Structure 1
């Protein structure tokens, strides 16, 4: 269990931690000389039966001075229980209220109140301050928390507080280990003989000696040389523990890693500078939160400048709504992380909330469809969130990003993939609901049927035209995966760039059949190897050239003719016959290679046309080319039945 202190300056937080653990959490000379905590302090104690096997509780001692609330925030993330310290002689003070508001915004709803300096108050004063504390806690997540009088001077109540903490530790549920590893860095320093050490709370997953990690958002790669968890050397650190990691690697130095960085599984490295989130504005905030409102954002131990963009109307004090956070610098975060906003002068806390989407769009961020997506993202469980997102426009999700941005481990990722239909889109997996997948397949088949009905003479629509006509509109590679699936199932036939239903046969209209019957003699007989060009036939018959070309192209899709070049069409039987001629010339050639001149002489045509014909076979793979020489490719020799 990790316990975080909270409370006003000089209310005895550090002294209380020392009384509980025997450790002075103030480590700076300035802290000792001034008698106040400036930096985060850490201490550890076995609050159980005192045996070596007992669980160790970590204490994070934070500053109480208003100037150091940003430091307090760096230590408040990841704590399991708040130890709110209120001095009996002072009572509830301004930083008591601000720290309490921050804990509430961070979702810390387990706590114990230590009524410190109890030796300075009589029973009546203690009762008055206890009532004041209860009233202050009312309406927060710590409402009803026990209040225990203690004195670090006389020792009163220390054992009772120790027992209460031990009971809380025993009741602390282990954090999920099935998520990927993340540690929020709050200190980075160098140890002589060891190198760079970073400390922080493990927010999720686990890390072991020898693991490769990434320091985000910089993207610095490192290897874990050693681990201390809860102040003990271990081989593995797990979620919920305070850990010190000894890191090694190129560029890994104390000044290369800073408070606020995130040490994480390399698969999670994808920092963001635009995040959609919920925001609850404190009732004490004097101003409405309008578009581009400036603030300082605190998440984990990180602090970064931010602009707030409400996704509806301006948020009034005490209100809650959806916002987009535009950050001054990239942040390593996870969906579900809590954050705090303070004003740019660092004098007051504005509010806080939860990150919903780390890949927020810069445009169309307020559309009804976008609001439905964010509403789904508010669901606490990943399965529920994904199900809701797939049920709202655009009815698909980047599954890899969804898994990564929630730090989900392999088992959770497998469960999500099994609960959806997944299409591989390059290196990305696109998830659809089963209903959307069925609708897409039905839409594809219906679109093809309607195309064939409207244009029976056409082979079918092109792939891109079909993709653009479907809802939802899939990315190109995801559509290709869906199409390959349907082709493999025998529901769709692909012919070059065109698609058709298996039952569809291209049919020319009566007028087009009549024109083709007129063209057919021109492509047959003695002149079959040198048929007239399209434009020549159109001119001779005084009909539009495009009509002749269109009919010949449709005939090509039916396999009746082949288009050698733009203006030259050959009957399929002639194309097959010429393959036989190439084979015969090859057989007669001393070296077994065919020249363009030898082929030209056999079909009695011009050199240019002969070369165009040979180029056509090259493109088909029917012939193999070496310079100006060719020979039949034995693996494709039967392409035209020859």
Structure 2
């Protein structure tokens, strides 16, 4: 378990940790020379049931970014205040940061008690509680690293703090240092935000590349495992160059999603905030600039909360409920604390009533399942993205989502209302198509998707089509989708005419015939022949590959099967390849190929054609 110590420079943080643990947290020569902690220092206290880790964060304003790097993934904090100096500028700023990050408990330690009277100490304590009323619920300890006063009592209190970390979640680890050890290779250090890792397991860098864990130092001791809430040094084996791993990178147990540069947050102001302004943003060991935009307010006063959008110069690996600290555009003063509400926030319509109602609903959710249900109200989402937002394993999501009657298929999660809405669109689209194109039997699956739901997940729409077919709300004839009632039959006279027409098609050895040519051959009016052939097309006997030029459907299917096999073997097909196979003229071949493109069987890419919907011409 990690406990962060913060406070003004030279208020005795390092000396207090030395008294508690016997370890000097100042580790750099420059730190010892200057008498202040510049980078993060660490000390450890082994206890019978656990090991406490202490982060000694720098107190000087210049080193505030390092101080903020130490606060990620930690639940408890100690505020160090020297009895002889009391509240100082960095005391106030550090305490403001601790409050804005919503630590579970802030323990106030008054140091250097040997230098002042008990009355002075009592006044310092009273001043702290009056200035910061929220500290009235905090535990106070009066200590002296020189005499040992209060050290045992403080140690006992810290030993009894319960661990709040969750080891059942996916592993998430923020890197703040990278170095090379001779004979061992690359070593990274950082804090485990969640989950559990063991030696020889594989992790993913935030770049997406895999690494293997060769050795683990947990809380400064050799260990076979590392857990959430611990300070870990990981010896990693990877093909990645050491220079490719940077402070601010992460290690995950699962492949990471894309980093986000636009998020919605709930902010709590530390000072007056205007509607839109430049900010410095700190999260774990990452620091970037950005722009903060209030969504409902023109301005915000200290300690007020509000919804805001944060756009970042450099994308960060954030998830729901992550904490950030925002400083002013000149990085000189604390501006606000921020809690992540949504990642991948939309660029447009951010202030609409629907959008703001959604965000307020999100703020009131009580558990993970309810929150995920809120995300899915208006759109489906990939399970990989939901797993990241929930910080759960993807395989655990179906049971979690089932609590809210949310379905999962084809790698997506969606509500029943979404499926109903999309299914109604599919049926309505086919209804319109039958009215507008009565000469056609129906639509291919790919074309129906493009007309009815082009911006929706293709795999889901195909699943909905299969479900409609199973319910017999749609039917499929020779690969064409249509409504069940969309059926036509020849009468006796038409059946006799069809036999004559079929004879002429069979004599063409697989080529198409024009309406005009058949009308002349059978001595019929061209309009009469056209109506008849299009009716034959509705029944599926013929297919118009261009207007007024028909081909036997069974012949068309044979060509489609040959084309499909050729593409599966070679990857694509050109007009010239098909022309050579069929021994046709180029014009006729182009017409056939363009028909395959229009119906959704193929798609053109340059001078070749690729398979789009291989199921279209299956019987």
Per-residue CA shift, 1:465-516, capped at 9, x if unaligned? Answer: 75577699632332112112322444321235642233432379xxxx9997
Does residue 552 (structure 1) correspond to residue 516 (structure 2)? The answer is no
Pair 58,332 (structure 1): closer, same or farther in 2 beyond 3 Å:
same
Q: How does 1:28-107 map to 2 (within 5 A)?
A: 28-46=28-46, 48=47, 53-107=48-102
Contact 2:73/2:193 (8 A) holds in 1 = yes
Question: Of 481, 488, 494, which aligns to 2:463?
Answer: 481
Tell whether the 8 Å contact from 1:281 to 1:315 is kept in structure 2 after alignment.
Answer: no
Q: Tell me the residue number matched to 2:163.
A: 172
Unaligned runs of 5+ in 2: 560-582, 597-617
SS at match of 2:462: helix
Who is 2:415 aligned against? 433
* Match in the other structure for 1:459: 441
Pair 187,422 (structure 1): closer, same or farther in 2 beyond 3 Å: same
Aligned residue pair count: 562
Q: Distance in 2 between matches of 1:261 and 1:534?
A: 68
Deviation at 1:5, TM superposition (A): 0.4
For 1:576-615, list aligned pairs within 5 A. Answer: none
Q: Give the equivalent residue in structure 2 for 1:202.
A: 192
SS of equivalent to 2:54: strand
How far apart are the structure 1 equivalents of 2:504 and 2:94? 98
Distance change (3 Å), C-alpha of 1:543 and 1:372: farther
Deviations 1:334-360 (A, max 9, x none): 222111111233211111212233322
Aligned to 1:317: 301
- Which residue of 391, 413, 434 corresponds with 2:397? 413
Deviation per residue, 1:273-326 (Å, 9 max, x gap): 2222222221x24x4141xx2211111111112122333444423333222222
* CA separation of 1:523 and 1:244: change in aligned 2, threshold 3 A: same
Secondary structure class of the residue paired with 1:3: strand
Instruction: Give me the whole-angstrom Cα distance separating, in 2, the residues matched to 1:333 and 1:572.
Output: 55
Question: In structure 2, the residue corresponding to 1:298 is in which secondary structure?
Answer: strand
Determine the structure 2 residue equivalent to 1:633.
Answer: none
Distance 1:19 1:295 in 2: 39
Equivalents in 2 of 1:31, 1:542: separation in Å? 102
Distance 2:387 2:102 in 1: 23
Tell me the TM-score normalised to structure 1 length: 0.77
233, 252, 275: which one aligns with 1:244: 233
Q: Which residue does 1:586 correspond to in 2?
A: none
Counterpart position of 2:574: none
Segment drifting more, 159-168 vs 455-464? 455-464
- The unaligned stretches of length 5 or more in structure 1 are 580-606, 621-638
Q: Which of structures 1 and 2 has the bigger CA Rg? A: 1
Mapping of 1:269-284 within 5 angstroms? 269-282=257-270, 284=271
Which stretch shifts more, 112-121 or 266-275?
A: 266-275
CA distance in 2, matches of 1:570, 1:156: 99
Matched, 1:212 2:212: no
Q: SS state of the match for residue 341, structure 1?
A: strand
Structure 1 pair 192–105 and aligned structure 2 pair: CA distance change class (3 A) = same
CA distance in 2: counterparts of 1:189 and 1:455, whole angstroms: 69
Residue 233 of structure 2 aligns to a residue whose secondary structure is: strand
Please state whether the residue corresponding to 1:297 is helix, strand or coil: strand
Residues 467, 473 of structure 1: 8 Å contact kept: no
* 1:13 is aligned to 2:10: no
SS state at 1:322 partner? strand
CA displacement at 1:137 relative to structure 2: 3.0
Q: Does 1:397 align with 2:381?
A: yes
* 1:335 maps onto 2:320 in alignment: yes
Cα separation, partners in 2 of 1:200 and 1:521, compared to 1, 3 Å: closer
TM-score (norm 2): 0.80
Matched, 1:183 2:168: no
Please give the secondary structure, in 2, of the residue aligned with 1:346.
coil
Displacement of 1:24 in angstroms is 0.6
1-side partners of 2:144 and 2:446: how far apart?
Answer: 76
Q: CA deviation at 1:180?
A: 1.3
- Label 1:312 to 1:146 Cα distance change in 2 as closer, same or farther (>3 A): same
User: Cα deviation per residue 1:428-461 (whole Å; 9 max; x = unaligned)?
Assistant: x222113433454455456656766898776345
3-state SS in 2 of match to 1:552: helix
